[in-house]
Amino acid sequence: MAKSQTPKKYRLLLTQEAKNDIKEAKSYYKKQQKGLEKRFLQAIKDKLVLLQKQPFSAQVRLEKEGESIRGAVLDSFPFLIYYLPDETVKTILILAVLHTKQNQQDFFE
């Protein structure tokens, strides 16, 4: 009997911009309520784990220079993770983590 193969998880790569976005939001939530920044970081981690398993699950939000930028909505915070999955090298490039009120067009121009 053949063993079922688990699909290979995609490797995550975060741009410096995405790291800065996360750091700023974390700082904001820390000032709002004790422990809220930890819940925010956990929500990001949970979504990234899901994206590693299902990189094409989030809808395409923007087309830029021939690439489809996808946006995954966090479950309990008003943020989207913008990313580019690359099937050939099994990576996910995290471009930004933006509040839903931010104008995505401005960011990606």
Distance CA 24, CA 34 (A): 16
pLDDT at 6 over 80: no
For 41-88, what is each residue's pLDDT tens digit? 999 999 999 999 999 999 999 888 889 999 999 999 999 999 999 999
What local confidence, expressed as pLDDT, does residue 1 receive? 46
- DSSP-assigned beta bridge partners for residue 98: 80
The enclosing H or E element of 31 equals helix 16-32
Report, at the CATH architecture level, how domain 11-107 is classified.
Answer: 2-Layer Sandwich (3.30)
Specify the higher pLDDT residue, 5 or 21.
Answer: 21
Residue 109 has pLDDT above 80, yes or no: no
**102: CB partners within 8 A, 6+ apart:** none
pLDDT at 103 over 80: no
Residue 109 or 14, more confident: 14
